[in-house]
Amino acid sequence: MCVQELTLRGHRVVAMDLPLHGSQAFVPESYQRQDLAAMATEPSPVAALSLDDYEKHVTRIVRRAAAHGPVVLVGHSLGGTTVSRVSNAVPELLHHIGPLDPAPVASALAVLAP
């Protein structure tokens, strides 16, 4: 179900992106130019982020949301991996979790490696 449908059914919904993903995504200048050689060497700010950073980001939002009622946390891919980590960090704040097709940790770490 999409955010709009859940909202129309009376649920409060917060759609969030992980830092430097989604609406906050970092797009290197070399990508815009389609300069693949430059893109292969251009530094990315995402490389400085870890799974701990994603977990802390989502946990802050969960803490705020939990003050207003039960929290159902859903995430896909790297978000699914993050959901699992948040559920270990603050299980008492979560009513349900839905890690959808979570990225394997080794795979996620490889993507985040510099």
What local confidence, expressed as pLDDT, does residue 113 receive?
57
What local confidence, expressed as pLDDT, does residue 108 receive?
53
pLDDT, one tens digit for every residue, the chain (114 residues): 688 998 999 988 999 999 999 888 888 888 888 999 998 888 888 889 999 999 999 999 999 999 999 999 999 999 999 999 999 999 999 999 998 888 886 655 565 555
What local confidence, expressed as pLDDT, does residue 114 receive?
55
User: What tokens appear for 32 in the block?
Assistant: 């815009």
Domain ranges of the chain: 13-112
Print burial letters for 36-57: b (CB count within 10 Å at least 16), e (below 16). eeeeeeeeeeeeebebeebbeb
φ, ψ of residue 76 in degrees (nearest 5): -115, 140
What local confidence, expressed as pLDDT, does residue 107 receive?
56
What local confidence, expressed as pLDDT, does residue 3 receive?
86
